[in-house]
Structure 1
Amino acid sequence: MELSTLDYSFIIVFFSIVLGIGIYVSKKSGKDSTEFFLSGRTMPWWLLGLSMVATTFSTDTPNLVTDIVRTNGVSGNWVWWCFLLTGMLTVFVYAKLWRKSNVNTDLEFYEMRYGGKPASFLRKFRAIYLGALFNIITMASVTLAAIKIGGIMLGLEPWETVVGAGLITVVFSALGGFKGVVYTDFLLFFVAMSGAIGAAYYLVNIPEVGGLQALMAHENVADKLNILPDLDNTQVLITLFIIPIAVQWWSSWYPGAEPGGGGYIAQRMLAAKDENHAIGATFFFNIMHYALRPWPWILVALASLVVYPDIASIAAAFPDVAENKLGHDLAYSAMLTKLPSGLLGVVLASLVAAYMSTISTQLNWGSSYIVFDFYKRQINPKATEKQMVAVGRISTVLLMVLSALLALTLQNAFEVFDLLIKFGAGTGLVFILRWFWWRINAWSEITAMFASGILVILLATTDLGDFLFAPETGIFPEWANYPFVVVVTTAIWMAVTYMTQPESNETLRAFYRKIQPGGPGWAKVVRNAEKDNVEIVKTDEKWSVPSGITAMLLGVALVYSTMFATGYWIYGRTTSALILSAVALISGALLIKTWGRMKENIL
């Protein structure tokens, strides 16, 4: 397809502004490691919240949603909608704890919560495991989406997209650090949302689709509209709804939705001015991420079923696309080729914005692990601030190169999503309980991490998977694969927890003194400290977790009802939309009241 002068103008202006911001903040960002990775811990909630939203709006996200909708309908999105529960738990329970910790990275937490060689090993291993391995896989998935967009919309070869998009992003990330990422995320958010909404409005109304009413009535779309899975289809109901809601949200580690907080979400909470700003940022992020942002992508995905009903029709329309890159996720890019001049430039700029926001965040976050938790901890404990910033910039470039090479071998965004979910199965409960149960130790986390990974590999590469879960001959139904990994992993790490020694009194008391987690899970530690005349309780405020869970449930009700109400307004189902809008208002009012009481306790 041909880009007009207007389209090129939008893209060039966008690139110029982003690079200008990176260059402008580079001097201050390079001052020391805290500035480079946390912007001096001075960020307001609204800027951090917008940054979180922009970061999780990547080039692979609309592709993933399109793949899900075309394959399993709108209700298929429960595989990631379920993580709202994790997000709200982070907002009202864990955000203030992370900000209290005052660590540079969430991995530094390990040597605060645990002690000895196991804690040191866990911190260093996770720095490489998450900062390099998982981070590279995640970025490769994002770059894969960029490759598909470049191939469909601009006729670019995969290597051309990788070099063009990656070079600008890595230069910007290495120069601007965390402050550059957050400042540009403010711009990227509005560009990305404008492009997504504009594309959805135009594409739903092209002649081939015929408008919203015609779309909803089309035979390829009508059976894809349900927000809840078909209650009569047990397999689909269990796989797409019951398992995500009952098990997946708390049991699996996934980037951006870690149980107990973590990753780049924790990085932004640690950069906040104070605990209230950390909570406000994560709450704003969850509302935008789940309640409003998915619908433009969903509408384009539904429209694509009319224009490109199957993969064969996509292949016929775009014969130059490599066979190993064909998939349902390609339909989003295919639909964008129908945009007019001007709007096409805005949408392309928005996709570039989405790509740069996510990749720059992943690069800065991953390199923070490598610098603080591996280089300074393992290689050069006496590293100067200048050396740490230099290593951060070098690791940024290396992470970008490795993820780009991996992207050239991948085929499908959903495959990567599924892999990451399964690899983290069974580990989530450890991340939740480690704050509130003194008996969790470093061996608990080490065991959970390795048990989960080994189980997934065994099920995927040996006859064990077929023996247990083959569709017709397996011992268990196919949908039990994920719960099986969770149950076995949990049983293993719980057994190891009781078989190994607890953390020392000194370690446990120091952690309690700093964080003040409270609750019955720490009662034994508090009693023992009192017997030894050691003061570790610094406040008389009552345990905030019960009210935090109440706020979490109200927040979940608010966001889900807003999300569903938005969908039903779009569908034209007025009665359902009005009822859910009322539920959203009531939930919001109750949440404001509950949050007011919690805020008084924090202050």
Structure 2
Amino acid sequence: MRVSLLDWGIVALYFLASLLIGLYYSRRAGSSTTEFFGAGRKLVWWLAGTSMVATTFSSDTPLAVTELVYRHGVAGNWLWWNFVFSGMLTVFFYARLWRRVEVLTDIEFTELRYGGKPAAFLRGFRALYLGLLVNSVIMGWVNSAMGTIINISLGIDRWKAIAVCLVITVIYASLSGLWGVVVTDFFQFIMAMTGCIALAVFGVNAVGGIAGMKERLIEHAGSPEKVEQFLSVLPPVGKAAWLPPVLFFTYIAVQWWASWYPGAEPGGGGYVAQRMFSARDEKHSLLATLWFNIAHYCLRPWPWILTALAAVILFPNLKNPREGYVMMMIHYLPPGLLGLMLAAMAAAYMSTISTHINWGTSYVVRDFYQRFLKKDAPEKHYILVSRLVSVVLMVCGGLVGYLMQSQVSGWELLLTIGAGTGLVFILRWFWYRVNAWSEISAMSAALLVSLGIKLVRSAGWLEFPEGLEFAYDLLITVAITTAVWLAVTFLTRPESDQTLDNFFKRARPAGPGWKAVRARLGDSVRVTDNLFYSFLDWLAGCGLVYAMLFGVGRLLLGDYPRALALIAISLAAGAFIYWDLSRRGWKSVAE
């Protein structure tokens, strides 16, 4: 389909609106680093939560979901659906703590929780490792996906178009800081969802509706029974070649707590933590993170999945399955809606890139430059440096994206190089014995072991069963990394009493892991969190999300009895959470 003048007009209006929002918030963001990186700690829950959702909804995500569905069916999404457990852990155990400690970056937390030179080294190392290296990889796969969309839909050189998108994004992100990012995120999310829903409707209609889709999938799957398996949300453990029991065990029992992954960090972190400690108070922090997880898993996936299923039928022999999503756009959307969809993809892309630019810049400037190179400069100086670093990150992300070919391979790379570190990030809040060397050894072991396994495999000295490479990589890395950091923890001294006391007074964590510190401080610090009820809320939260995710899917696929039953379970879980938080009262739940 040829892109019409109307389509170009819609895309141009979107870019103009993004720039105007950036200009509007530029003066406010330029007043201080708290405003630039933390929005003055004044974000309301629905704005902070929607910004989290918009950031994780990038132009690469529908393409990656299409690839998963194309190859494995709906259940292929368990690669990321397992992170519900981690997300709900953040909601009920960590959202309030992050807001309570009042840091501007989660890396700044390092020198609040730990002390001395090891803590300083860890802060500086993580600032550059995550802010530059890992952040460039993430932006790289987002850039690569957007390049695919532009090249297929517009037929122009993708990197020229990517350069335009990057420049516009870095202008409003560097000018407006976090305020501009979250406000544009809100509108970008609405636009992106509108476009994706429209594409799903046109795609399903193109294959004859849901009934026609099921009929035509028989040609792809081979029998009605296999179609049901292809459409099922239940993982076909041991029944399908792509999901042997070991791989599913890795997803459901290990990956979600063991691996660091942006947007689903065990114990919170990254840009999710940035929104939490930018919220108005602990209540807004908890509600923002809860809304994020509900929208992230229950609202977003099904328009992508339906479009991917239509692509399986209409474009059955694609060498690169992720292109199926873009093919659906250009072949089945009419003029006007195609422009809306292109603007929606640009919105999804820019919301993610703008957040990663602001988030990565906060690490480099706040946790490295200001901490180690120039400590006492005026706020205006740090804002200027932040804007310059934003441009550097834009260039790095563009270069990595030029080299990257697959979003799913990028996901798996980050999951393995961070495997085994998650438990440290979970326990550091609730066990006084964790120290700076615990984190340093965990990060070092995870990186060296995961890369070592890849090198040994590439040399032909080690072979894993076909289809289980990722699972074995992750399980071995987790086992060795966990053994290493636990050994280092017990072989080194805990943090000083002064460091532990100061942290406990500020964070007031509950649980037996701080018994010795509580005994030392006596009644001077009041702990109001209750880990048992937080655990019950965590279970209910997981039930709420999974039941609603599966219920919405069954509803869209015409299985109304099971859909209604699942939605009822989800609502009951939500009612329990509301009852518990109301019973405890917000003064005790979130001071």
Does residue 24 of structure 2 align to residue 18 of structure 1? no
- Does the 8 A contact of 2:106 with 2:274 survive in 1? yes
Letter of the structure 2 residue corresponding to residue 575 of structure 1: P
- Show the counterpart of 1:363: 357
Any residues of structure 2 matched to 1:292-331 within 5 Å, and which? 292-312=299-319, 327-331=320-324
- Show the counterpart of 1:582: 568
For structure 1, list consecutive stretches of 5 or more residues without a partner in the other structure.
Answer: 313-326
1:22-61 superposed Cα distances (whole Å, 9 cap, x missing partner): 0111111111111111111111111111111111110000
Identity of aligned residues (%): 46
Does residue 93 of structure 2 align to residue 101 of structure 1? no
The answer to which of 520-529 and 555-564 deviates more is 520-529
- Show the counterpart of 1:419: 413
Provide the secondary structure at the position in 2 that maps to 1:311.
coil
Provide the secondary structure at the position in 1 that maps to 2:500.
helix
- Does the 8 A contact of 1:253 with 1:428 survive in 2? yes
Provide the secondary structure at the position in 2 that maps to 1:432.
helix
Q: 1:567 aligns with which of 546, 553, 561?
A: 553
Q: Measured at CA, do residues 465 and 471 of structure 1 come closer, stay the same or move farther in structure 2, by a change above 3 Å?
A: farther
- Show the counterpart of 1:324: none
- Does the 8 A contact of 1:66 with 1:297 survive in 2? yes
Count, aligned residues: 579
For structure 2, list consecutive stretches of 5 or more residues without a partner in the other structure.
Answer: 222-226
Any residues of structure 2 matched to 1:217-236 within 5 Å, and which? 217=215, 218-219=217-218, 220=220, 222=227, 223-233=229-239, 236=243
- Show the counterpart of 1:168: 168
Does residue 292 of structure 2 align to residue 285 of structure 1? yes
The answer to which of 237-246 and 401-410 deviates more is 237-246
Deviation of 1:125 (Å)? 0.4
The answer to which of 48-57 and 252-261 deviates more is 48-57
- Does the 8 A contact of 1:78 with 1:240 survive in 2? no
- Give the whole-Å Cα distance in 1 for the aligned partners of 2:511 and 2:45: 28
Provide the secondary structure at the position in 1 that maps to 2:326.
helix
Does residue 401 of structure 2 align to residue 407 of structure 1? yes
- Show the counterpart of 1:316: none
Letter of the structure 1 residue corresponding to residue 40 of structure 2: G
Any residues of structure 2 matched to 1:337-356 within 5 Å, and which? 337-338=330-331, 339-356=333-350
The answer to which of 108-117 and 158-167 deviates more is 158-167
Q: Measured at CA, do residues 74 and 426 of structure 1 come closer, stay the same or move farther in structure 2, by a change above 3 Å?
A: same
Q: Measured at CA, do residues 56 and 455 of structure 1 come closer, stay the same or move farther in structure 2, by a change above 3 Å?
A: same
- Show the counterpart of 2:224: none
- Does the 8 A contact of 1:458 with 1:464 survive in 2? no
Provide the secondary structure at the position in 2 that maps to 1:389.
helix
Q: 1:494 aligns with which of 474, 486, 489?
A: 486
- Does the 8 A contact of 1:469 with 1:480 survive in 2? no
Does residue 265 of structure 2 align to residue 258 of structure 1? yes
TM-score normalized with structure 2 length: 0.95
Deviation of 1:297 (Å)? 0.4
Deviation of 1:335 (Å)? 1.3
The answer to which of 218-227 and 547-556 deviates more is 218-227
- Give the whole-Å Cα distance in 2 for the aligned partners of 1:244 and 1:471: 17
Letter of the structure 2 residue corresponding to residue 168 of structure 1: I
Q: 1:524 aligns with which of 513, 516, 525?
A: 516
1:302-352 superposed Cα distances (whole Å, 9 cap, x missing partner): 11111111224xxxxxxxxxxxxxx21111111111111011011111001
Deviation of 1:470 (Å)? 2.6
- Show the counterpart of 1:428: 422
1:181-219 superposed Cα distances (whole Å, 9 cap, x missing partner): 01111111110110010010011112xx22221112322
- Give the whole-Å Cα distance in 1 for the aligned partners of 2:205 and 2:20: 37
Deviation of 1:18 (Å)? 1.0
Provide the secondary structure at the position in 2 that maps to 1:105.
coil
Q: CA RMSD in A?
A: 1.8
Q: Measured at CA, do residues 130 and 540 of structure 1 come closer, stay the same or move farther in structure 2, by a change above 3 Å?
A: closer
- Give the whole-Å Cα distance in 2 for the aligned partners of 1:155 and 1:461: 38
- Give the whole-Å Cα distance in 2 for the aligned partners of 1:469 and 1:192: 42
Provide the secondary structure at the position in 2 that maps to 1:107.
coil
Q: 1:482 aligns with which of 474, 478, 488?
A: 474
- Does the 8 A contact of 2:456 with 2:462 survive in 1? no
- Does the 8 A contact of 2:450 with 2:473 survive in 1? no
The answer to which of 192-201 and 519-528 deviates more is 519-528
Provide the secondary structure at the position in 2 that maps to 1:205.
helix
- Show the counterpart of 1:317: none
- Give the whole-Å Cα distance in 2 for the aligned partners of 1:241 and 1:583: 24
- Show the counterpart of 1:214: 212
Letter of the structure 1 residue corresponding to residue 404 of structure 2: L
Q: Measured at CA, do residues 309 and 549 of structure 1 come closer, stay the same or move farther in structure 2, by a change above 3 Å?
A: same
